[in-house]
A and B are shown apart, each in its own frame.
Chain A
Amino acid sequence: MTVRENTISILVNNKPDVLARIAGTFSGRGFNIESISANITRNPEITNIIITTIGDQETVIKLEKQLNKLVDVLEVRDLTDVSSAQREMILVRVKVIASDRDRFTQIVDTHSWKIVSTDADYCILEVTGDRQGIEDALAILETIGMEDFVRTGVVALKRCPPQQIG
């Protein structure tokens, strides 16, 4: 079986220890969480956790079955092979020299990045994109004075609506 990156969306009860259970199921079954993002859904008692992990399909299915056994897990959706939109976001701090500001603004505009805040010397940018888009953006940002960045986990949404639960 081919090893690949898998995107799993997990709907859980919004309780303090649920993330620990999910993380424990991954580590206990020998999986690494490559990226994670979590937040409440339309129903604030339900949280959607989206995790990407590396593994072959057969083993990931076994993992999903184990996740499904957790009492606080309401649904596990594998988004790897279904048509879905996937995005990550980075916040980037760039040092901007006054004389370069025009060129900098031009680059930002060209890539449709967003300036979140700015002062005399620094600028914070917001960039969203899929995995490759973020990698490409980071490569460019490295060349124009990026000092630091933070990167979210993947969020993913199936293109056609899944059945509602609850």
Chain B
Amino acid sequence: MKLTGAQVLFKALQQENVDTIFGFPGGAVLDIFDELFRSDIRHILVRHEQGAIHAADGYARVSGKVGVCLVTSGPGATNTVTGIANAFMDSIPVVVFTGQVPTPMIGGDAFQEVDITGITRPCTKHNVLVRRIEDLGRTVREAFYIARSGRPGPVLVDLPKDVSRAVIEEKDISWQPNILNNNNNGKYAFTSEQCMKALDMIRNAERPLIISGGGVLLGKASEEFRAFARTLHIPVTSTLMGLGGFPASDPLWLGMPGMHGTYYANMAISHCDLLIAIGVRFDDRVTSKLDAFAPHAKVIHIDIDPASIDKFVKAKLSIVGDCKPILNFLNQCVSEKGFTIPEGQTREWLNQIDLWKEYAPLTYCRTGKTKPQHVVETLYHLTEGKAIITTEVGQNQMWAAQFYHFDYPNSFVSSGGLGTMGFGFPAAIGAQVARPDKLVVDIAGDGSIQMNIQELATAVNYNLPVKVVILNNGYLGMVRQWQELFYGKRYSHSDIADVPDFVKLAEAYGAVGLRATRPEEVESTLRQGLNEPGVVVMDFHVEPEEGVYPMVRPGAPLTEMVLSKEEKAA
């Protein structure tokens, strides 16, 4: 039997159990879209390719599967670059198929030609230009394998038009992935000696602390992680990427560390004698001043990526591997060998943490205009903490992270590493596609939401009932906050007030638009919006100059926290 390149592609996608693609057609991928027309795979047509890649990213984060994105050559491909870099920074498994001009024309500056493998080389885990139809099936399978194995990441496959159109005998196709490099897998298997040494260090610790990150979620190890921390009764702080990996309602949880982390998480890091880092890469927003980070601690670093070990923070003991089997093994040792931290050894430490919690709980001033934190808090209560929350980037992201208390894995979807404004809404669309049973809410700012607002059409078209909560302060809020604190209140080009009318805009797209301008309208507006069956945009006019606190100034040690705007003024 003969197959076209496009048919080979779909056959490979079938082998990878792909059921959803986010994409946008164009000249170089017309053959592929023609095949898609006959396929069972669901395609979500976006309005801008950046929307497609972010939606595939959100889909991957919520479903735990590989997200798939299909776009045309040239501008179609370049429009995905931000989203690819975003997935790369946050280690999200995504496969991006880009169209390419026919192979004989490559290098000749053809219409809609761009060297997309060259452009994305530094921001993909791997990429490949498929020059021969014989290689297509195998290459697609390899792309999925690479995207999800080891430390996951985006893989781009560039498909010249003549390859999609070419015809091949089915028997001449090789489907078997052929990857020689096993750096991500068996080569770095952990040993029981390492685990026993870790337990030994834990046994001797008086002030132990766990810092967990996105690796726990990517490794699907939340359950094992919970058991580990709870059995040993070790307090936990989770990075932005790690939120939901440990229940925020657990008394052992200290909230987020770092620049906008809690006082008690940062104090715990600064005073612990043992820091157990699981699936973190010690981002600068977490460590702040590196020399002053966890100065008294021995560090145990568990991570799947050997390049993360000793990158910034020196590990006394490193265990390279998948955190799920590692935690499983540790839990097994604990239960079978009756391992405990000697009674009372950490009592003083846990008391000290309680005192820090009492001294500076996460809070805000509730008087005056609507406070953005109040909106997030009310959303948390109304949804009983069970919604999937996506965020844009900036203040909205930090308030969502601080005041929506995440109890469940894969319920917080946010652009951590790259900090991509415009991520949250298309990611919410992807999340809703992955979980039609769940309430999905994008917590947005009035700046960020405009960066991919066109995807309202996608959400409405496919009846993906995403709710958008805009914390509208009329500013590019985080920029304004930094200008207030570090640039003498010169609000250079950060004022974006009054335009557009988000209610009318929502209505123009066929969504429901709601607005709340006063604090007493917050709850009723949220109730109304969340109860609507379709897409809803809720525009909350909030205190324009509210800041995100606590805050560690960039480059300062974690112990030097500004707890509130009032404290800063004092």
Residues of A within 8 A of B (CB): 13, 17, 20-21, 24, 28, 58, 61-62, 65-66, 68-74, 166
Check if A74 sits within 8 Å of B121, measured CB to CB: no
9 nearest A-B pairs in the assembled complex, by CB-CB distance = A65-B307, A71-B126, A68-B183, A28-B122, A71-B181, A65-B306, A24-B121, A24-B122, A66-B307
Confirm or deny: B125 has a beta carbon within 8 angstroms of a beta carbon on chain A: yes
A74's contact among B117, B180, B311, by CB below 8 Å, is which? B180
22 contacts between A and B (CB under 8 A): A13-B180, A17-B121, A17-B129, A20-B121, A21-B121, A24-B122, A28-B122, A61-B310, A65-B306, A65-B307, A66-B307, A68-B183, A68-B307, A69-B125, A69-B151, A69-B183, A69-B184, A69-B307, A71-B125, A71-B146, A71-B179, A71-B181
B551 to chain A, nearest CB (A): 30
Residues of B within 8 A of A (CB): 117-118, 121-122, 125-126, 129, 146, 151, 179-181, 183-184, 305-307, 310-311
Check if B121 sits within 8 Å of A69, measured CB to CB: no
B281 to chain A, nearest CB (A): 12
A166's contact among B121, B146, B180, by CB below 8 Å, is which? B180
Residues of A within 8 A of B118 (CB): 17, 20
Residues of B within 8 A of A73 (CB): 181, 183
Check if B122 sits within 8 Å of A68, measured CB to CB: no
B215 to chain A, nearest CB (A): 15
B135 to chain A, nearest CB (A): 11
CA gap between A61 and B307 in the complex, in Å: 9
CA gap between A166 and B181 in the complex, in Å: 10
Check if A62 sits within 8 Å of B181, measured CB to CB: no
Residues of B within 8 A of A17 (CB): 117-118, 121, 129
- 7 A-B pairs besides A20-B118, A21-B121 with CB distance below 8 A are A17-B117, A17-B118, A68-B183, A68-B306, A69-B307, A71-B126, A73-B181
CA gap between A75 and B117 in the complex, in Å: 23
A165 to chain B, nearest CB (A): 8
CA gap between A74 and B182 in the complex, in Å: 8
Most buried by B among A13, A65, A69, A73: A69
Q: Say whether, besides A17-B117, A20-B121, A24-B122, A62 and B179 are in contact (CB < 8 Å).
A: no
A23 to chain B, nearest CB (A): 10
Please, which residue of chain A has its CB at the minimum distance from the CB of B182? A74
Residues of B within 8 A of A61 (CB): 310
A21 to chain B, nearest CB (A): 6
CA gap between A17 and B118 in the complex, in Å: 9
B290 to chain A, nearest CB (A): 14
CA gap between A58 and B310 in the complex, in Å: 9
Most buried by A among B146, B180, B306: B180
B472 to chain A, nearest CB (A): 38
Please, which residue of chain A has its CB at the minimum distance from the CB of B181? A71
B122 to chain A, nearest CB (A): 5
Residues of A within 8 A of B117 (CB): 17
Residues of B within 8 A of A74 (CB): 180-181
A70 to chain B, nearest CB (A): 8
Residues of A within 8 A of B129 (CB): 17
Please, which residue of chain B has its CB at the minimum distance from the CB of A64? B307
CA gap between A62 and B305 in the complex, in Å: 12
Please, which residue of chain A has its CB at the minimum distance from the CB of B311? A62
CA gap between A58 and B179 in the complex, in Å: 29
Residues of A within 8 A of B311 (CB): 62
B102 to chain A, nearest CB (A): 18
Check if A69 sits within 8 Å of B305, measured CB to CB: yes
A42 to chain B, nearest CB (A): 15
Residues of A within 8 A of B310 (CB): 58, 61-62
Check if B121 sits within 8 Å of A62, measured CB to CB: no
